[in-house]
């Protein structure tokens, strides 16, 4: 996401970040594209990747994203980051996404198969790893927010939590999740949070999460258009660390 926070600070614990923050050094010659600008962007083969440091002014640090491989079937990338200060604030959401042909309601989508393999090389951080999808009654709504936001947390590091409060548990895509909900301005946010630790390899149908919300939370699938289909990480503090996505794909069928 570019302009909204999907996480809230939990408690007032000591920062996971070191006292000093050094700049991330851009790599050379080993990747398709280096993205170190605030909204450094790449697209190809129906995918897009964004360095997306939308919250960088709330702290101190640096971040670069490297597009490693791309084909019509998958894409891989990594993000090196280091952030301190602004304990309550998300600094960025480096992500990979499927470029979307606008005009499809959630109800008109049969499936959204996705596969990802990812890891962090340093767990002494405060961050999540999550799918992030927006929907809106306006098919051409901008991609920074919407009427609804669906997040699926595959990783949760440190003293962070989703927006709102936990309202129960759910079994979706063969796994058990905490279900959280709350409001981010006028946008209703639903977050499914892993109860089994970090899920580094995930192969599922994201449509199943929308189906659950439609059946159990009154999500209006026939009136909501899909505007984003993204996967990435939201860092608060910590590092230096590398968020490595060895492979990702996502499709809308």
Active site residue 48: no
Task: Give the chain's domain count.
Answer: 1
Active site residue 28: no
Q: Is 23 within the bounds of a domain?
A: no
> Of residues 208 and 10, which shows the higher confidence score?
208
Q: Is 9 within the bounds of a domain?
A: no
Q: Is 161 within the bounds of a domain?
A: yes
Please list the residues that pair with 67 across neighbouring strands. 33, 77
Range of the domain at 156: 33-250
- Exactly one of 149, 173, 235, 252 is catalytic; which is it? 149
Q: Is 153 within the bounds of a domain?
A: yes
Q: Model's pTM, two decimal places?
A: 0.89
Give residue 17's pLDDT: 30
Count CB-CB contacts under 10 A for residue 57.
Answer: 11
Go through the chain and tell me how many residues it has. 253
Q: Is the pLDDT of residue 21 over 80?
A: no
Query: Which runs of E-coded beta strand occur in the chain?
Result: 7-9, 33-35, 41-44, 47-50, 60-70, 75-84, 95-98, 113-120, 125-136, 148-157, 160-162, 165-172, 175-184, 187-194, 201-205, 225-226, 230-250
Q: Is 2 within the bounds of a domain?
A: no
Q: Is 16 within the bounds of a domain?
A: no
Q: Is 17 within the bounds of a domain?
A: no
CATH code at position 127: 2.60.120.180
Count CB-CB contacts under 10 A for residue 121.
Answer: 11
Express each pLDDT in 86-126 by its tens digit: 998 999 999 999 999 999 999 999 999 999 999 999 989 99
Express each pLDDT in 197-251 by its tens digit: 999 999 999 999 999 999 999 999 999 999 999 999 999 999 999 999 999 999 9
Q: Is 20 within the bounds of a domain?
A: no
- Exactly one of 212, 234, 243, 244 is catalytic; which is it? 234
């Amino acid at each position: 996401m570019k302009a909204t926070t999907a996480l809230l600070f939990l408690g007032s614990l000591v920062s996971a970040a070191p006292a000093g923050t050094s700049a991330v050094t851009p790599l050379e010659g080993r990747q398709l594209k280096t993205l170190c600008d605030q909204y450094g962007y790449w697209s190809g083969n129906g995918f897009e990747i964004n360095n997306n440091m939308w919250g960088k002014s709330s702290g101190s640090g640096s971040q670069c994203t490297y597009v490693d491989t791309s084909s019509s079937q998958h894409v891989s990338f990594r993000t090196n980051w280091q952030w301190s200060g602004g304990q309550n604030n998300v600094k960025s959401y480096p992500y990979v996404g499927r470029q979307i042909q606008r005009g499809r309601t959630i109800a008109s989508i049969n499936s959204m198969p996705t596969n990802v393999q990812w890891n962090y090389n340093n767990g002494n951080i405060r961050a999540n790893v999550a799918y992030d999808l927006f929907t809106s009654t306006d098919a051409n709504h901008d991609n920074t927010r919407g009427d609804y936001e669906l997040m699926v947390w595959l990783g949760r590091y440190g003293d962070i939590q989703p927006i709102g409060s936990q309202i129960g548990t759910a079994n979706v895509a063969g796994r058990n999740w905490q279900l959280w909900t709350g409001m981010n301005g006028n946008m209703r946010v639903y977050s499914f949070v892993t109860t089994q630790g970090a899920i580094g390899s995930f192969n599922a149908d994201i449509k199943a999460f929308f189906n659950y919300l439609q059946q159990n939370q009154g999500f209006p699938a026939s009136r909501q258009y899909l505007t984003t289909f993204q996967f990435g990480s939201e860092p608060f503090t910590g590092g230096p660390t590398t968020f490595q996505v060895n492979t990702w794909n996502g499709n809308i069928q």
